[in-house]
A and B are shown apart, each in its own frame.
Chain A
Amino acid sequence: MSRSDWEVVIGLEIHAQLNTASKIFSGASTAFGAQPNAQACAVDIGLPGMLPVLNRGAVERAIRFGLALGSRVAPKSIFARKSYFYPDLPNGYQISQFEQPVVQGGAITIRIGDGEDAYEKTVRLTRAHLEEDAGKSLHEDFHGMSGIDLNRAGTPLLEIVSEPDMRSSAEAVAYARTMHALVRWIDICDGNMQEGSFRCDANVSVRKKGAEAFGTRREIKNLNSFRFLQQAIDFEVGWQIETLEDGGSFVQATVLFDPATGQTRMMRSKEDAHDYRYFPDPDLLPLVIEPEWIERVRATMPELPTAMKARFERELGLSAQDAGALTVTKEVADYFQAAVAAAGAAHAKLCANWVMGELAARLNKAGLEIVCAPVSPAQLAGLLLRVADGSISNAIARKVFEALWNGEGDGADEIIERQGLKQVTDSGALEAMIDEAIAANPKSVEEFRAGKEKALNALVGQVMKASRGKANPAQVNELMRRKLCA
């Protein structure tokens, strides 16, 4: 048997920290990076007598998410206590949602791969529920003890649970990336994976191709980069197949991924079977979301990436691939739309090429996010208008772009003017340069007249060089040909 005899089944649980100012059940700040425990208030550290009060902002973000995924936003949902002892869980229970989550169902379309091999797939959502984050255990050595920082305790989380619809690590990563872009698009999560704002757990199992029943799954916890997600799943899938093919078996378990070794291993602290003893939190009444509230939130929703992509294709005549690339993140889409607004819809394709081409490459080289691009959408539009009207060639446009990037001028026109980059179209000046080229390259002239078309290119090249790129190559070509054939 070989690996191709097996089907991989993956479901993801994503924990997205919601970007509220205060915690889900207390008025402490959620800002990242404070001194240890400086942002852990009496509720967050579970002082006796303290009570949770639900943050409206967290609920509103859950509603936004539900609307974006076409889910059912539950009119009534329940907060439950999930009990287990762990030092970073101050109350000994996590307040979460169990039987009646706030967001139920929904789906998201993902695109896997590039170019010819790319395909789309719809992944179904099981649910998304609100819960509180735990604190952090710091394992550096305090005389053989661990240090507990509860600043993160009580940060609102939306746990987004997919159906086991993914069939490869590539699909899992595409799903995670799409979800990552979406939560940022609808502005409910900052998506900062280094700070743990967006974390994935992957439920992985394998089964013989054609089998109906799912295999035993293992859950890989706390994957905080797309690369680790891919590596961890690939390792786990390999391990599961190898184990089964060797005639072995394994039990349902929770595992950790070690980036240093690239391997997964069992969590020691979860070895004994858990019994979370969920029950409705008696300190909290049911969360009731009236239809009016949902409608108010709906009115503030931005255009979603799928709708925007379709509009780009329909109204701006972009290809599906371009429209998809420009709606990968809200920031790119915003930039593109601002550039098109300034340049005019007729130049949308040119804007698209530049945003995905020169701008993206330059940002990548500089390691910048698009919101920090030194060239504004209006500046880019100004530049592209000069390309469109033939004032400058593409080659010159790249130079002007570089000048704008380096802050050498406020706008493309100013730079073109000051540096004398405007295309030379005056046929008198061009003819002088052509005559010069003919005079200086008798050999090429000879060859062309002998029927060697290629020789013309060399002569045109000479003129372009003499014009420092400002001549219009098509115009030079035509004039040169006329002269040589005269």
Chain B
Amino acid sequence: MPLSNEQLMRLARLARLSIPDDKVDITRKQLDSIFILIAQMQAVNTTGIEPMSHPQELAARLREDVVTETDCRTAFQAIAPHTEAGLYLVPKVIE
């Protein structure tokens, strides 16, 4: 099932990536070859097989409800692209 340009653009938008015009064709071709690879999986009948999402089929280990963290804002914001008054700044959010 080859990918259309529209589908590629939709994926790119979902993933917040911009694909320059001159890269659209090559990207589409490469993704198509990956899709051919992964389509091989369809050859196996997996009816009734329980999906396995994790190598350890164990139960989650839980934390006790205790506050263990202290304020590290200064250290965290030292590596931030743009902050002011303790806030991370981003282009205006429109709801």
Quick check: do A and B touch in the complex, using CB within 8 A?
yes
Closest chain B residue, CB of each to CB of A22: B67
B94 close to A (CB within 8 Å): yes
Residues in B1-39 with C-beta less than 8 Å from chain A: 13-14, 16
Q: Shortest beta-carbon distance, B90 to chain A, in Å?
A: 4
B86 close to A (CB within 8 Å): yes
Bound-state CA distance A177–B73 (Å) is: 38
Q: Shortest beta-carbon distance, B70 to chain A, in Å?
A: 8
* Contact partner, A268, options B13, B54, B95, Cβ 8 Å: B95
Q: Shortest beta-carbon distance, A317 to chain B, in Å?
A: 42
B73 and A59 form a contact (CB under 8 A): no
B87 and A288 form a contact (CB under 8 A): no
Q: Which residues of A contact B65 (CB under 8 A)?
A: 20-22, 55-58
A119 close to B (CB within 8 Å): no
A56 and B62 form a contact (CB under 8 A): yes
Residue pairs across A and B with CB atoms within 8 Å: the count is 131
Q: Shortest beta-carbon distance, B73 to chain A, in Å?
A: 5
B41 close to A (CB within 8 Å): no
Bound-state CA distance A35–B74 (Å) is: 12
Residues in A183-212 with C-beta less than 8 Å from chain B: none
A28 and B84 form a contact (CB under 8 A): no
Given the known interface contacts A27-B68, A42-B76, the answer about A53 and B63 at a Cβ–Cβ threshold of 8 Å is yes
Q: Which residues of A contact B46 (CB under 8 A)?
A: none
Residues in A5-30 with C-beta less than 8 Å from chain B: 20-22, 26-29
A27 and B13 form a contact (CB under 8 A): no
Q: Mark A393-432, 1 if CB is under 8 A from B, else 0.
A: 0000000000000000000000000000000000000000
Residues in A247-295 with C-beta less than 8 Å from chain B: 256, 267-269, 272, 275, 277, 279-280, 282, 284-288
B84 and A256 form a contact (CB under 8 A): no
Bound-state CA distance A55–B62 (Å) is: 6
Q: Which residues of A contact B78 (CB under 8 A)?
A: none
A145 and B91 form a contact (CB under 8 A): yes
A56 and B90 form a contact (CB under 8 A): no
A45 and B76 form a contact (CB under 8 A): yes
Bound-state CA distance A430–B40 (Å) is: 106
Q: Shortest beta-carbon distance, A337 to chain B, in Å?
A: 29
The secondary structure that dominates the B interface is loop
Given the known interface contacts A147-B87, A286-B59, the answer about A268 and B71 at a Cβ–Cβ threshold of 8 Å is no
Q: Which residues of B contact A88 (CB under 8 A)?
A: 93
A139 and B92 form a contact (CB under 8 A): yes
B43 close to A (CB within 8 Å): no
Q: Which residues of B contact A145 (CB under 8 A)?
A: 82, 89-92
B72 close to A (CB within 8 Å): yes
Q: Which residues of A contact B63 (CB under 8 A)?
A: 22, 27, 53-56
B87 and A37 form a contact (CB under 8 A): yes
A21 and B53 form a contact (CB under 8 A): no
B64 close to A (CB within 8 Å): yes
Bound-state CA distance A59–B85 (Å) is: 35
B66 and A27 form a contact (CB under 8 A): yes
Q: Which residues of A contact B71 (CB under 8 A)?
A: 35, 38-39
A29 and B69 form a contact (CB under 8 A): yes
Q: Which residues of B contact A54 (CB under 8 A)?
A: 60, 62-63
Bound-state CA distance A88–B61 (Å) is: 27
Q: Shortest beta-carbon distance, A51 to chain B, in Å?
A: 11
Closest chain A residue, CB of each to CB of B56: A285
* Contact partner, A36, options B56, B68, B85, Cβ 8 Å: B85
Q: What 6 A-B pairs come out closest when comparing CB atoms?
A: A57-B65, A147-B87, A27-B68, A288-B59, A41-B69, A36-B86
A-B contacts, 8 of them at CB < 8 A, read A35-B86, A37-B76, A37-B86, A37-B88, A87-B88, A142-B87, A142-B89, A149-B87
By a beta-carbon cutoff of 8 Å, the part of chain B in contact with chain A is 13-14, 16, 53-54, 56, 58-69, 71-73, 76-77, 82, 84-95
